[in-house]
A = this chain, B = another copy of it.
Amino acid sequence: MSDRIAAGKTADKGATRADEVRLAIEEDIFLGRLRPGTRLDEESLAQRFNISRTPIREAILQLVHAGLVEKQPRQGAVVAPLKLHRMVQMFEVMSEIEGLCARFAARRMSEEEKQALKHLHDTSKAHMEARELDAYYAVNRSFHEAVQAGSHNEPLQEIARGLFARLAPYRRYQLNHPNRVKDSFTEHDDVVEAILAGEPEAAYAAMRRHVTIQIDIFTEFVSIMGGNEIQ
């Protein structure tokens, strides 16, 4: 049964093989085991998961429509390599989308949600002070997800998740920027404050600034690398 699927989190009960494969490949992309540009060969994937090509094809199609994989008729699929200018555009949209989430969150979060958000933020502070990078970034992701959920707008959350997924493989590049963790925490601080105080525009501005700074760091990184296509 599910032992046929080698990697990744276990899928839901009612899920099909295709879904399990999709989750596994998705995780491989997130974690960098599959780098952008890597070819996805149907036959070898079929062998790896010990199933036929049919569900593999379906999984790949789903990934194509999630934007994680690119595919051209009769020329196979590769993990989507993002062109630089497109990635900058995506960050640009991301900053607005996340800002929007924060604006809604400031208006709509329940007291429980606000407390949960504050708790997440406090946790990340502990990780920051202990210099636990990986833990900090894990909580960081939860933080953003909490704000997104706080928007109480599902389509908006889906858009945010989609953008996040497509940018995820590139986020690790900013890990090593000097003082990034400390600055990031300070920016989060502004966001939390505005949301807890129920100030939509301040929350929007703070979150937008936070994500925009990531664009700066990213383009800075790219200009050092000098490449037009990151892989």
| Residues of A participating in the B interface, judged by any CB pair closer than 8 Å | 14-16, 19, 54, 57-58, 61-62, 65-66, 72-74, 86, 89-90, 92-93, 96, 100, 153-156, 159, 163
A16: which of B58, B62, B73, B154 is its contact (CB, 8 Å)? Answer: B73
B163 near A86 with CB under 8 A, answer: no
A19 neighbours in B (Cβ, 8 Å): 73
Q: 18 pairs across A/B with beta carbons < 8 Å?
A: A14-B72, A15-B73, A16-B73, A19-B73, A54-B54, A58-B61, A61-B61, A61-B65, A62-B65, A65-B65, A86-B155, A89-B156, A92-B156, A93-B100, A93-B155, A93-B159, A96-B100, A155-B163
Closest residue on chain B to residue A16 by CB atoms: B73
* A-B complex: 8 closest residue pairs judged by Cβ atoms: A65-B65, A89-B153, A90-B155, A93-B156, A14-B73, A93-B155, A61-B61, A16-B73
Separation of A148 and B145 alpha carbons in the complex (Å): 27
Separation of A14 and B163 alpha carbons in the complex (Å): 28
A176 to chain B, nearest CB (A): 26
Closest residue on chain B to residue A90 by CB atoms: B155
